[in-house]
Amino acid sequence: MKTKYSYKDIVLQPSYSDIKSRSELDVSKEFLGRRFNSVAIPANMKCTIDFDKALQLSEAGYFYILHRFYDYDQILKWVEDSQLIRTISISLGVNNKDYKFIDKLVNRDLRVDFITIDVAHGHHLLVKEMIEYIKYKCKFTQVIAGNVGTPNAAKDLISWGADAVKIGLSMGKSCTTYNCTGVGTPMFSTVEAVAQHLSEDIPIIADGQIREVGDVCKALVAGASMVMIGSEFAKCEDSPADIIGGPAVGNTNKKVFFGSASSTNKGHDGYVEGQTVVLDMRDETYLQYLERINQGIQSCMSYGGNKDINKLNLMDYAIHTNN
């Protein structure tokens, strides 16, 4: 059995560089025909994205994916009110209410630029049927589908009509899928394997296991186009995550972060594969964190002598693991 590696098992290797100023390197990224100011995306979860954050990120030139856990009438109203913003990007599931929502978008002639089919196990018949329905009904909408964890699954999503794939199972800080089921995806090796089996023009979103800015760089080296981050965005002072404080948490401000499959989010205890965790709040906004990520990528490119963010996947790396 081939050993597979997580980001923490990987060390990127430096190369000769003739880059005189890393601050001049372009770390913007083209994704599905549009250019965004960073590869980083807040996870499409209640604790990391809401209507206000979506608007802020859109107007600042960043990509986002709105979560699907609002009442759908609220999402529809937000889409209606947002027809003039730069980017309208939402999530849906694969149930009857999701089909009805698509019908309402079409009947009201509403523009949606990106729809992410957001389910725990994306290599599934119901995802295939939803991709086909969206592509049939919404001719100008790009479809992101996931989450999946194998090259065959990613290839199937593309053959079903998806424009991009989202990779990662059980790797988030609040996810307990691995604990409950034994299923998971060591992220570096998984992203690398998928990238090697897909055409270079198929975008991959690496979703999960980001703990440091360097992990974002490693995801790009593995072959990701964009990188989704949950807990590290939730820690920001302006995240939608609830703030708690006082003696019970050491008299410091904390952020409450919970998984989409947690009982907190689902409202019941059936098939729970997520948990609620308390995080130290950072004195940093989303825009400041995104800038810190961009600077980290610039430095990584400089260490690798690489002037093109799209060629980071050619950077050498070494394995360091005690497993």
Buried b (16+ CB within 10 A) or exposed e, 23-36: eebebebebbeeeb
| Model confidence pLDDT, tens digit, residues 181-200 | 666 779 999 999 999 999 98
Within 13 Å, how many C-alpha atoms sit on residue 153's CB side? 22
Nearest of 319, 1, 5, 66 to residue 193 by alpha carbon: 5
Q: Please give the C-alpha separations between residue 188 and each of 2, 3, 16, 34, 216, in angstroms, as whole numbers.
A: 14, 11, 24, 26, 10
DSSP string, 278-317: EEEPBS--HHHHHHHHHHHHHHHHHHTT---GGGGGG--E
In the predicted structure, residue 234 carries a pLDDT above the cut 60: yes
Instruction: Output the pLDDT for position 276.
Output: 79
In the predicted structure, residue 53 carries a pLDDT above the cut 90: yes
pLDDT band at 249 (very low <50, low <70, confident <90, very high): low
Instruction: Output the pLDDT for position 117.
Output: 98
What's the mean pLDDT in 255-275?
57
What's the mean pLDDT in 216-225?
98
In a 10 Å sphere around its CB, with 0-12 CB exposed, 13-18 middle and 19+ buried, how is residue 253 labelled? Answer: middle
Instruction: Output the pLDDT for position 172.
Output: 56
175 is catalytic: yes
| Model confidence pLDDT, tens digit, residues 104-159 | 999 999 999 999 999 989 999 999 999 999 999 999 999 999 999 999 999 999 99
CB atoms < 10 A from the CB of 201, how many?
6
In the chain, the amino acid numbered 46 is: K
Q: Which of 47, 138, 175, 236 is catalytic?
A: 175
Instruction: Output the pLDDT for position 317.
Output: 94
Cis ω for the linkage preceding 96 (within 30 of 0)? no
Q: How far apart are CA 177 and CA 185, in angstroms?
A: 11
In the predicted structure, residue 275 carries a pLDDT above the cut 70: no
Check: CB of residue 128 under 8 Å from CB of residue 162: no
